[in-house]
Amino acid sequence: MFAELDLVARRPYSGEVKRTASALVAAFALAACAQHLAPAPGPAPDPAPPAVGPPAATPALVPGATAAPPAARTAADSAAADSATVSDSEVATSASKMFGDSAVAPAAGPAKPTWDLDVRSYETRDRVQHYVSMFTGTAREHITQRLEDGTRYEPMIRATFRAAGIPEDMYYLGLIESGFDPNAYSKAAAVGMWQFMASTARGEGLRVDWWIDERRDPVKSTAAAAHFLKELNDQFGSFYLAAAAYDGGPGRISRGLARYADDFQDTTGNDLYFQLADKDYLRRETREYVPQLIAAALVAKDPRRYGMDIKPESAFVYDSVRVPPLTPLAAIARASGTTVAVVQSLNPQVLRGMAPPDDSLEVRIPLGSRAAFDSLFSALPRSDRVGAEYVRSKSGQYFETIARKHDLTARDLAEFNPRVKHYRSGHLVPGQEVLVPTRVVVAAARSIPDPSIERYSTAGGRYVVRKGDTLGRLALHYHTTVRHLMELNGLHRPVILIGQTLIVSGTARRAAAHPAAKKKPAKAKRR
């Protein structure tokens, strides 16, 4: 073949044919030269002894890192390159014309995944392997769906983490915490994609009140999570310890490290977390937290290895505008040419279907709709741009009385007036301003209790009274009445004490079966 092509190149054929032949001669010459210079095969070396201990860590590719420089070209490489009479591109073009693209296509395999967390050093641990098997086995469908949900927020989360100086692959904490659901609500009353408690969220600068809960805001809560994780890593010197502290609280991690300090003298970094987890000191959820994080990173970064197909969603992109107080989400949707559902998905932090009554609000609208928003919003009738009005309560009125006049229910009205006072009879105190929403606003509102008491949780339908609790607040939180709570707990007066255990769900018959719930603890008696 080589000789025939050489003859074609020398004989008086057309220019195109001669150039093609010359190109292929050069290509075959390079291949022959490389084969000639290759070392002769020798006997196979003795097999290396099996490795003992954990596998070596694969170097992580962190943001800003550079790859190693390529090896220097050898003299043989230079000579072979100089012998070519045509460029590489001409060789490829000519050969593809004669033999098709497959003749010169380079053999390309899938790129090997890399992590900026050290997952390789711990991937063989039993608990990690357990969760890898679970995520790719019984929970495969669930994990696949959650990873697909996360692709909507992944660019934003990774950019936020990168800017904060923490590993981008801490992104997978969102899978473990909430499945990337901005509206997730746990039994412990943690809220949002990053599962913040109300006090922790406020400490990170998030707004949490009756109207707005920024724990549900994907962008602001992610920035708060990044800042919190950075602080925890600075405190413990390990992102795995930081993750454990994120789940179980920094105080417990600090006490555990101090308690077993003598045992951990020669242990540092991420190994310290696994040493602490092996002590059976942490709560089970916290012990399993980091193995789940590692397993999630292993599976999500290399889904095809496990036969999983992750289909990405559209990225979370938007424009922003500021609207006046009491602006309904429905008016924002009309002015931005979209639906209320789309505006809600961009602004899950808005709880009551409109901007707060006492403050303007920056809201997200679909990308590209900002230019025309102001003019379209101004063109709306005032009745569409204002989502509620104030009326003054009169003597003898109930919520039901006012609600009936505006085609609403008493519960609708109560959810927009958390601070309106009542007499014991249920009458409203005369002269109060009662905020009456439109039906459009009520339809867009979320049925969510006061976020300031979302920290409350129960086990088996019981609740331990804390400082600041009242039967009224507990009744509102658990969607019941003060009278019902009193019947459940055999109370003759609406008075509760710190440390007292209350039954907050069920019937009065169940309360009779739990007389301990009626008793006040010794500490409460002394008070």
Are β-strands 433-437 and 361-365 bridged in parallel, bridged antiparallel, or unpaired?
unpaired
Q: Which of 404, 519, 505, 509 has its CA nearest to residue 458?
A: 505
Q: What is the pLDDT of residues 88-114, one digit of tens each?
A: 343 333 334 333 343 344 445 567 899
Provide the pLDDT for residue 314.
95
Q: What is the pLDDT of residues 376-404, one digit of tens each?
A: 999 999 999 999 999 999 998 999 999 99
Average per-residue pLDDT for the chain: 79
DSSP 116-131: SS--GGGTTSHHHHHH
Q: What is the pLDDT of residues 346-359, one digit of tens each?
A: 999 999 999 999 99
Provide the pLDDT for residue 492.
77
Range list of β-strands (E), 385-505 = 388-392, 433-437, 462-464, 501-503
Check: pTM over 0.75? Answer yes or no.
Answer: no
Burial class (CB in 10 A: 0-12, 13-18, 19+), 213: buried
Q: What is the pLDDT of residues 143-168, one digit of tens each?
A: 999 999 999 999 999 999 999 999 99
Provide the pLDDT for residue 456.
45
Backbone angles phi, psi at 272, to 5 degrees: -65, -35
Q: Is the pLDDT of residue 428 over 50?
A: yes
Q: What is the pLDDT of residues 211-221, one digit of tens each?
A: 999 999 999 99
Structural domains in the chain, sorted by start: 1-38+80-105 (no CATH), 120-182+217-306 (no CATH), 388-437 (3.10.350.10), 456-526 (3.10.350.10)
Residue bearing the bigger pLDDT, 199 or 240: 240
Beta-carbon-side half-sphere exposure of residue 188 (alpha carbons within 13 Å)? 12
Provide the pLDDT for residue 129.
97
For residue 422, the SS3 value is: strand
For residue 387, the SS3 value is: coil
Residue bearing the bigger pLDDT, 443 or 56: 443
Confidence of residue 19 (pLDDT cuts 50, 70, 90): low
Enter the tokens of residue 495.
């008075």
